A and B are shown apart, each in its own frame.
Chain A
Amino acid sequence: MPRTAASVLVLLLACASLAQAQDDPDALVKSVAEDTLSAIRADKELQTGNPAKVKQLIEAKLVPHFDTARMTALAMGRNWRAATPEQQKQLTEQFQSLLIRTYSNALTNYRDNKMIYKPLRMNPGDTDVIVRTEVTRPGQAAVQIDYSMEKTADGWKAYDVVVAGVSLVTNYRDEFNDVIKSSGVDGLIKALSDKNRDSAGK
């Protein structure tokens, strides 16, 4: 009997730590990434890059874990506050769809890669952390991919992706700044939606 009690206790503890693990940002990144990659590996159409299906997959699996409004705001920098709420809404929509397209492209191009998840350095109570991963490709040096994540009321959400030292948000900030300087916030909205329309046509 004591043995049964002990194993029940172990089981309970294991469940508790499992539930805990799901709440941690690194466990989230891992489960989302593995989930997405295995979905691609299991589906021929996703592998050949059927755009509609890849987009669907990303919207279902990845987008809920990204704070696209915050990403847009960060990419806009000081221009964000100069934009009206309506402009902010349009910018977020257009930028999100550009990011989805870019991610779809990257996923279909790099589906054979393996991901390694590095131990997370995090203090209890931290609400802003960097989850570090490494992508290895056969015959190539590994590429570091870091996710900047923030704890929100809705769970942990990524607000930047840094690939080999290149921050997505910072790279877009330079692009956005230049376009806004020459043609204003509306010019940027137009540039983004033109870009999305062009890529959709291909």
Chain B
Amino acid sequence: MNRPPLQLRRAALALAGLTTLLAGCAAGPTKEDPLEPFNRQMYAVHQVVDGNIVKPIAEAYVNVTPELIRTGVSNFFGNLDDLFTGINNVLEGNGKQAGDDFGRVLLNSTFGMLGILDLGSMMGIPKDHKDFGITFGKWGVPAGPYLFVPLFGPTTVRDGTGTLVRLFIGPIGYIPDVPLRNSIYGVGYLDARSQALSGESVLDTAALDKYRFLRNAYLKNRQYQIYDGKPPPDEDEDAASAGNGVLAPPQ
């Protein structure tokens, strides 16, 4: 049973090498976002394609589909998330939490009709979120350059690799019927996109520069998840100076 983690660890090490390499050759605007000019172009592409095609479809889906059905769809994909959360909790050594996650998956997959009903939550088994990006981060893999991927959103080299690992081993990939498999992927994408609508609307009102606001929030949030809610303090000289001088009357 020790083998998969070992292989993953090796992959993680290779990834660590790759991310440092990439970070090294791209000298750019900031430390976390060396590819900013390229990423901003990708963001612009995303705005056009998503704004004109995907977002209207997601909005229509929310408006047309009864909430009960949308919840069932979200729960179905949430059940798959729980499976991967459990796997990653095992890889991170959080046995107790993994037990909760697998308990949820078992319960929801059987009595919850393939995950459509989230009985686990009704019974008070808390839902957690873990992914391969978080696990790699805990193993010490640096995030690598920030990337904005059109139609997918913010990620980093490490987190994006995590997403690919999940897609590669995910259960849906094993469905032999190709049209069925693709439809499930399609509905899963629509579900994820429609869930992002409210957050996006808050971002629209909050941000002076949406690209920057989203990037900074994404990176902070990932850091927070990797450190289990206790990230090391920023080496941010501004925070200290603001703390001192804030209430002093201006000269």
Contacts and interface: CB of A to CB of B under 8 A. Distances in A.
Given A78-B241, A165-B231, A175-B207, A84 B202 contact: no
Nearest to A173: B238
Given A171-B213, A173-B238, A81 B250 contact: yes
A139 interface: yes
B221 A192 contact: no
A178 B30 CA distance: 12
Given A105-B202, A174-B212, A175-B207, A141 B239 contact: no
B245 A81 contact: yes
Interface stretch (A2-10, A19-27, A34-42, A68-76): A68-76
A138 B70 CA distance: 12
Contacts of A13: none
B164 interface: no
Interface string A65-102: 00000100110111011011100100000000010011
Contact of B208 (A101, A165, A191): A191
A109 B196 CA distance: 11
Interface in B198-230: 198-199, 201-202, 204-209, 212-213, 216-217, 220-221, 223-225, 229
Nearest to B249: A85
B220, B231, B251 pick with most chain A CB within 10 angstroms: B220
Nearest to B198: A109
Contacts of A191: 208
A115 interface: no
B127 A110 contact: no
A147 B207 CA distance: 20
B129 interface: yes
A190 B81 CA distance: 44
B235 to A, nearest CB: 13
B224 A80 contact: no
A165 B224 contact: yes
Interface residues of B, number: 44
Contact of B238 (A70, A77, A104, A192): A77
Given A70-B247, A88-B250, A179 B221 contact: no
Contacts of A167: 220
Interface in A141-200: 141-142, 144, 164-167, 170-171, 173-175, 177-179, 191-192, 195, 199
A1 interface: no
Contacts of A170: 216, 220, 234, 236, 239
Interface of B: 71, 74-75, 78, 118, 121, 126-129, 198-199, 201-202, 204-209, 212-213, 216-217, 220-221, 223-225, 229, 231, 234, 236, 238-239, 241-243, 245-248, 250-251
Given A102-B205, A164-B224, 12 more contacts: A77-B241, A78-B241, A80-B245, A138-B121, A165-B221, A166-B216, A167-B220, A170-B220, A174-B212, A175-B209, A175-B213, A195-B208
29 contacts: A74-B242, A74-B243, A77-B238, A77-B241, A80-B242, A80-B246, A80-B250, A81-B248, A84-B250, A85-B250, A102-B202, A104-B205, A109-B199, A141-B129, A144-B229, A164-B224, A165-B220, A165-B224, A166-B217, A166-B220, A166-B224, A170-B220, A170-B234, A170-B236, A170-B239, A171-B216, A174-B216, A175-B207, A192-B208
Interface of A: 70, 73-74, 76-78, 80-81, 83-85, 88, 98, 101-102, 104-106, 109-110, 138-142, 144, 164-167, 170-171, 173-175, 177-179, 191-192, 195, 199
